[in-house]
Structure 1
Amino acid sequence: MIDLSLLNETTEILAPNFSPEEIESLGKIIFPKYNGHKAAGVKNHITMSSRKAANALVQFLNTSKKTFQLIKLIVEMDDSTLNGKSITIEGLETYLNKLAKSGIYYDFKKRKLHHSKKNALEMINWGTLKDGKTYDITVMSLDIVGNSKLVKKYGTKTMEKVYFRLRSFVEQKVLDYEGRIWNFAGDGGLIAFTSKNHVTRSVLCSLDIRATLSVFNIHPDIPIKDNITLRLGLDTGKIKFFSDTGHIVSDIINYAAHLEKSGTVPGEISISENIKKELPTKILKIFSDKNMFENMNSYSTV
């Protein structure tokens, strides 16, 4: 048996995406003798709504301890066919995200469901994104200012210790805002956010990193006297996801990286016009320095 709220979420994903007849067919795939009317306690000649049919199937399979099979089937029905009809499941990412937060996630490569909160938190796809599909994603590019000079002054080995501690510092902040580090190569990296309110969460995360970097710099474990200064650039839009994030090709990623490296002064954060459009006024007031970068408006903290 799984949590009642997740059973409700499973009903909610089924009802708008499948007709009562299709829900019956799903039940028979898992349980060949399944009868939706009998499960719902109504006579065969009575027409059921999709919601009633979905609730009956969810409750029946939960009692039969086959809920995981239903969740797996729902995920695998996306972009497939059922009874000769093409199926696209709206809201699937949101549904999978809720499952992942409860410790249940679907491994698209192995086509298996797993139950592990730790793994779900660490998965590069949040336990919800499917290779080859396009999603709304916000990316943050982050870089140490003057890294070459620091390496020359303190040496590679010492700076590698700084990089390690910086990644740990950034990673904790990113997880607090439900983001993921897609790449971190020593002096900087690429961070991604998706799902509900991802634009706002990404900007709040960048502001949190900037605000608490001074605490990082005075920590006794940081083996250099110079303060670390960062630049951060953010953009948002449609990105085709792949688990091998190093091979994702995207204008959104490119713009965020270019904006950070060439359009942001040390110690500050720059956001694209796409980001600005999604931010609440209260946050937007912080980005009062308007500029033109690569023929697009950008906005920076001052």
Structure 2
Amino acid sequence: MVMKRHVRTLAINSLTEALDIKTMLNVANLLMTGYDSDYIYNRTGFPRNMPMPPREVARQIVDDVNTLGLYLEFVTILIRIQEEGLKTRQYRIPYLRELLNDILEQGYIYEPNRKMFIEDPEVRRTANWGVLRSDEDTFSFLRVDIVGNSDLVRKYPSDVIRTTYADFKSIVTRTVEKRNARIWNWEGDGGLAAFYFGRNIHQSAVLSGMEILHQLFIYNRLNSRLDDILNIRIAVHSGPCHYCGNPSDLDRSETIITIKELEKNNTETDSLSISRTVYVMLDPLIARQFDTMKRNLKTDCYNYRIRWECDH
């Protein structure tokens, strides 16, 4: 994301009016490692026997930020400095509101839990929320799969299957995206959703899985074109993973391998299974809805299904 010309001027003015040269370089170093006085003299060609004007330092920092595409990260740091200070000192950052308004106008919102800008889901939805790079971080994943896909494809006309599977994908997509998750992979009869932003991504994934079960229960009885019940399995697991644009690269992630095993080998039909990693992060009221199971995994997993009063 590149700054417009007037925004570049605002950013330069913001640094010049708020910070001295030493503090500017400290801020720049948070974004660009090794950014010090030697570096700035080399970048500008300014004579070393002369003190550099603060505005010249600010201009070079802003231009380097712009060149490296670090505009969002730059403003995020300014927000943090104004809210929390820097090295025990408080600062007021002028023109910060104007910089924020520019970012909002370009379709981004500030996510306070991660303290970073992400794309506004009302404007667009991309797999990396518009900001993730390839760094490893902790995600919560939801995997869903239709049970007996091959039998259904053989039994029903292709137009019925297409409509039914499209309806199912719509239920899943709508449910996870309202919790700011993204579909990372979809293969016709199921897929994988990633949760990264929010106060409790583990709980968001679990609530999504529970809601999908309930939504499908209603769909099967009111809207389905199948004579049979559309059965599914859902699993939720959290762990480290690299964001990657190619879905096939996900298969090498230990976290993805685990959730596939959890869904395929440890989840009963029309139920949701979650790993212990996820279970311990749940509100007790939600956790009580799950039964403990121990099957083929190395640790306990927990299962939820829609229950009737007579089941208790």
What runs of 5+ residues in structure 1 fail to find an aligned partner? 1-6, 33-47, 73-90, 104-116
1:55 counterpart (80, 87, 92): 92
2:181 alignment partner in structure 1: 179
Q: Please give the residue correspondences for 1:50-89 in structure 2 after superposition, counting only pairs within 5 Å.
A: 55-56=92-93, 59-60=94-95
Root-mean-square deviation over aligned CA pairs: 3.6
In structure 2, the residue matched to 1:94 is 114
Tell me how far apart the structure 2 counterparts of residues 49 and 149 of structure 1 sit (CA, whole Å): 62
Are residues 272 and 49 of structure 1, via their aligned partners in 2, closer, same or farther at CA, if it must alter by over 3 Å?
closer
Measured against aligned partners, the alpha-carbon deviations of 1:105-152 in whole angstroms (never above 9, x if no partner) come to: xxxxxxxxxxxx422xx110122311x201110111101111111111
Aligned to 1:284: 287
Q: CA 1:177–1:60 in structure 2 vs 1: closer, same or farther (change >3 Å)? A: closer
Q: Deviations over 1:265-288 (max 9, x none)?
A: 101111111111211211111111
Aligned to 2:266: 263
Deviation at 1:245, TM superposition (A): 3.3
Equivalent residue number for residue 235 of structure 1: 237
Say yes or no: does 1:295 pair with 2:301. no
2:140 maps to 1:118:
no
Instruction: Write the distance in 2 (CA, Å) between the matches of 1:20 and 1:50.
Output: 13
Question: 1: distance between equivalents of 2:137 and 2:156?
Answer: 42
- Give unpaired runs (5+ residues) of structure 2: 1-10, 28-53, 65-84, 306-312
| 8 Å CA contact retained: 1:273, 1:299 | yes
Q: Which residue of 1 aligns with 2:152?
A: 150
Under a length normalisation based on structure 2, what TM-score does the superposition of the two structures give?
Answer: 0.64
Cα distance in 2 for partners of 1:194, 1:61 equals 26
Q: Go from structure 1 to structure 2 and tell me whether the alpha carbon gap of 1:208 and 1:62 turns closer, same or farther (over 3 Å shift).
A: closer
* Contact map agreement 2:292 2:300 (CA 8 A) in 1: no
Aligned counterparts of 2:172 and 2:139: Cα–Cα separation in 1: 19
Q: How far 1:182 moved relative to its partner? A: 0.8
- The alignment partner of 1:292 has SS state of coil
**Does structure 1 conserve the Cα–Cα contact (< 8 Å) formed by 2:140 and 2:237?**
yes
Deviation at 1:223, TM superposition (A): 2.6
* 1:275 maps to 2:278: yes
Contact persistence 1:140–1:191 (CA under 8 A): yes
* Distance in 2 of aligned mates of 1:175 and 1:52: 40
Are the aligned partners of 1:144 and 1:231 in contact in 2 as well (CA < 8 Å)?
A: yes
TM-score when scaled to structure 1? 0.66
2:165 aligned counterpart, secondary structure: helix
Cα gap change, 1:239/1:93 in structure 2, threshold over 3 Å: closer, same or farther? Answer: farther
In 2, the alpha carbon distance for the partners of 1:53 and 1:299 equals: 47
For 1:30, the aligned partner's letter is: V
Identity between Structure 1 and Structure 2 (%): 23
